[in-house]
Structure 1
Amino acid sequence: MTEIRRLSVRHITTYAYDAPQSWGLLRLRLTPRSHRFQRVLSWSVTLEGARRELGYEDHHRNLVDLASLEPGASTVIIRCEGEVEVTDNAGVLGSQGGFAPLWLFLRETPRTRPGPACSALVSRVMAAESETLNRLHALTRALAEGIVFAPGATDVASTGEEALAHGRGVCQDHAHAFLACARAMGVPARYVSGYLLMDRIEQEASHAWAEAWIEGLGWVGFDPANCICPDHRYIRLATGLDYGEASPVSGSRRGTGDESLSVHVEVAAQ
């Protein structure tokens, strides 16, 4: 029997600046798309200290909003709320969509460039398994064991190779290491940002995992941080070659003073 779950999300991102800012631009990938296994029932993004300028669909088919900081803003608050119905399909999404060709997802990025640790893992996995799907499941298990979840051990600029070599990281690092290894095997793979229903409602951050292209199945999700394929507890927000192309919020600003960031996420089953 197919399992379907309705999830509610409340996601608040707050930027606080030591001094008023003269200019700033934010890129928001905070609106999920409906697809065969994910139906967006309601969703809203509201801003304080900034205003939406325009929305567009990028080359990965992510829904993107551009927002500018209000002149003199010292605090920016981004609130997302909505409900999404998700169907469990064992991580299988199916055929390629969007404008990007599959060969694009074999491209290395600075965050997903393999080094000695990734190369050694790839050699072990490929020697042990002959089929692509089995190799990717084995890779997922190896990364779950090889990178201990350790908040603060890495940052947004860290690479998958660094996390695997040091054996510490967060879900972003698990995803980057998976991408580095999968692409080294010749398998197209992409980064996914989104939300995960956990055993608690309040969370410190959104979630990240990976998807790989398997002939005959299409895109299939793998979450090395939890050693499973995404199911009806996962909401997909955006995809890209790495975190930089799928991050929920990115941007630049012009002004003096330091910036502090706080994130509050709530995911609950309805």
Structure 2
Amino acid sequence: MRLIVDHVTRYTYDVPVRGVVQSHRLTPSAFDGQTVLEWSVEVSDGIPGGVFRDGAGDRVQSWSVQGPVSEILVRVRGTVETVDLAGVLRGHREVAKPEVYMQETAPTRVDTALIELSKAAEGAANQLDAAHKLSDAVAEAIAYRPGATTAHTTAAEALALGEGVCQDHAHALIALARHIGIPARYVSGYLFADGDGKQHEAAHAWAELWMPGLGWVGFDPANRCCPDERYIRLGSGLDALNAAPIRGTARGQGQESLDVTVAVVAAQQ
């Protein structure tokens, strides 16, 4: 499938700030499941800095904007060719060991309810079967409802609420997997809404779990599937903050407001 992305992030400040520094993970991953045909990242009045590939194989680009500045626009546009690998991250080059992703973070810390939910994997035929059972359990326990949670909601809080968005589903699955000894990580990216009548978030997130013999395999409890040709993978991390496509800091006292719009459409083949 050939997918076209148009992703705009607008930062506004009620008082001009002296400057802004950002770190971007906004370039699609290089692996057998996707090929970048064209891609650009533009930052209004931005000065590009260093570029490197981190241990997880993600391309990281730094940007700076000199102030005073009241508005910054980050625009991502491009076309990616995707194929369905049944969620397997085949051909992705990275040096970080799977054990790195056994680290507990604040959003993925387990509580009594999450530990109880992890029992859904009991009796699984193998680790892959256990992963599917955990993903199904998260989908059943946390209903998809936009606006029910915030960017700071933890997996335990989302489970207690019984509602959340893709970030909450990913955090919950990661928490369960790590609790039973499966390395797991958070993945940020895009999802093509194909008119099937279901609710989707074009800026999307899911989890990857480490499977012996297969490597990293993606699971998306929010849509009850493994990533297929509708998904574009950007990058990964221990949790949503660690894997954020854009991270940064502003120098000054201005209050920041954020507006994000993302469109993903299928190109004519």
The answer to whether TM tops 0.5 is yes
Q: What one-letter code is carried by the residue in structure 1 that aligns with 2:194?
A: D
51-60 or 207-216: bigger deviation? 51-60
Compared with structure 1, are the counterparts of its residues 67 and 55 closer, same or farther at alpha carbon in structure 2 (3 Å cutoff)?
same
The number of residues matched between the two structures is: 264
Deviation at 1:95, TM superposition (A): 6.8
CA distance in 1, matches of 2:177, 2:208: 10
Structure 2: distance between partners of 1:150 and 1:69: 36
Amino acid of the structure 2 residue aligned with 1:251:
G
> Aligned pair in 2 of structure 1 residues 76, 83: CA closer, same or farther (>3 Å)?
same
Distance 2:202 2:231 in 1: 14
Moved more, 159-168 or 89-98: 89-98
SS in 1 for 2:222: coil
Deviation at 1:86, TM superposition (A): 0.6
CA distance in 2, matches of 1:88, 1:67: 33
Distance verdict in 2 for CA 1:155–1:174, change over 3 Å: same
**What are the Cα deviations for residues 97-127 of structure 1, in whole angstroms up to 9, with x where unaligned?**
412111111111111111112100112x132
| Structure 2 residue aligned with 1:267 | 264
For the Cα contact (< 8 Å) 1:15–1:77, is it kept in 2?
yes
1-side partners of 2:207 and 2:56: how far apart?
Answer: 14
RMSD (Å) for aligned C-alpha atoms: 1.7
> Superposition pairs for residues 1-270 of structure 1, below 5 Å?
5-94=1-90, 97-123=93-119, 125-199=120-194, 206-270=203-267
Name structure 2 gaps, 5 residues minimum: none
Letter in 1 for 2:9: T
- The CA deviation at 1:153 is 2.3
The answer as to whether partners of 1:96 and 1:219 remain within 8 angstroms in 2 is no
Scaled by the length of structure 2, what TM-score is found? 0.93
Kept in 2, the 8 Å contact 1:95–1:219? The answer is no
1:223: Cα distance to partner?
0.2
What SS does the corresponding residue of 1:137 show, helix, strand or coil? helix
> Please, which moves more after superposition, 144-153 or 38-47?
144-153
In structure 1, list runs of 5 or more residues that go unmatched: none
Letter of the structure 2 residue corresponding to residue 190 of structure 1: R
**In the alignment, is the contact (CA less than 8 A) between 1:96 and 1:218 conserved in 2?**
no
**3-state SS of 1:65 partner:** strand
In structure 1, distance between residues paired with 2:153 and 2:91: 31
The 2-side partners of 1:242 and 1:55 are apart by: 22
Helix, strand or coil at the partner of 1:244: coil
Percent identity among equivalent residues? 46
Q: For residues 190-248 of structure 1, what are the alpha-carbon distances to aligned partners after superposition, in whole Å with 9 as ceiling and x for unaligned?
A: 11100000136xx8651000111111111111001101000000000001111122111
Normalised TM-score (structure 1): 0.93
Q: Distance in 2 between matches of 1:205 and 1:29?
A: 16
Amino acid at match of 1:195: Y
Which amino acid counterpart does residue 219 of structure 2 have in structure 1?
Answer: F
Closer/same/farther in 2, CA of residues 204 and 180 from structure 1, 3 Å limit = closer
Q: In structure 1, how many angstroms separate the alpha carbons of the residues matched to 2:45 and 2:14?
A: 14
